[in-house]
Amino acid sequence: MGDGIAGQISKGPVHKKVDDHVNHMAGGVFDKRAAFLTKLQAATTWQPYLQMLETDVGLTQAESNYLRTKWYDTTDPGVSWKNLQPIYPVLRQGLIKALQEAGTTLPLDSYWLPVGGPPMLAVIVARSPVQVTRLIITPGSHMPAAPRTQNSNMWAVTAQPQGQPVQQGDVTSDAVVDNVNAQNVVTWRRREFYTTPSATPAPGPAR
C-alpha cells in the first residue's frame, strides 16, 4: 500500500500503477489512456475514482483504503491536511490536465513532493518534447510506517543536515546516502517499495 515519506520526493505504488496504466501501449498506441481519461472526467467525487483505480488500474484493497483514509475521505479522523480538504477536486483536475497535455504521443511520469513552509496544495504539470511530468505538492507527510528498501532512479541533493551529519551508506526510512562531498553536500538516493529499472541495492548502516 502507499505510505508517508520522510524525504523530498516519491512516486509510490499508486502513482506507478496509474502511470503504467495510462502509458500502456499496444500496436504502437496508448491503448488504455482514452478510456481512463473519459472515466476520470466523469468521476467528480473520489468514490467512483477509487472504484476505477481498483477495477481498471489494479489497486489492491489496502492501497485503495490508504487513499481513502489518508487523502480523500474528509469524514475520516485520520485524513491528512484537514485545512486543505477537500483535495480530490484539485488532484483530479491536475491529472486530467496532465493527460490532456500528454495526448496520444507522450508518456506521463508522476511524483509526490511533500514540502515545508505555508500549507500548499498544487499539481504542477510540465510538458517537454519527450514526456509530461506531474508533480503533486502537499504539506509535509505523515511519517512512514514501513521502510522503503528498493533503490529508485531519483536523487535529492541537499546540504549536510544540521545536528545530525550523515555519511555515505547511511540509510533512512526512504533513502540511502550516495555521496557526501568535500563541501558537505549530500546526494541522497530515494527508495521505493518496488524495484525500478537499473536500481541496485546499496545497503549501509541503519540510522
Domain assignment present for 128: yes
Same domain, 61 and 101: yes
Domain assignment present for 171: yes
Cell digits for 62?
Answer: 489496502
Q: What is the largest CA-CA distance in the chain?
A: 55
Q: How far apart are CA 79 and CA 49, in angstroms?
A: 17
* Range in 174-178, 182-186, 191-195 with the lowest mean pLDDT: 191-195
Q: How far is CA 81 from the centre of its chain?
A: 16
Per-residue pLDDT, 5: 60
Same domain, 131 and 164: no
Do 135 and 123 meet the contact criterion of CB atoms below 8 Å apart? yes
pLDDT of 184 strictly over 90: no
Same domain, 65 and 125: yes
Q: Which domain holds residue 20?
A: 12-139
What would the pLDDT profile of 38-49 be if each residue is shown by its tens digit? 999 999 999 999
Same domain, 29 and 127: yes
Residues in the chain: 207
Specify the residue for cell string 500500500.
1
Do 61 and 14 meet the contact criterion of CB atoms below 8 Å apart? no
pLDDT band at 166 (very low <50, low <70, confident <90, very high): very high
pTM of the predicted model as reported, rounded to 2 decimal places: 0.75
Number of domains the chain is built from: 2
Q: Which residue, 188, 153, 158, 195, is CA-closest to 173?
A: 188
pLDDT, the chain, mean: 87
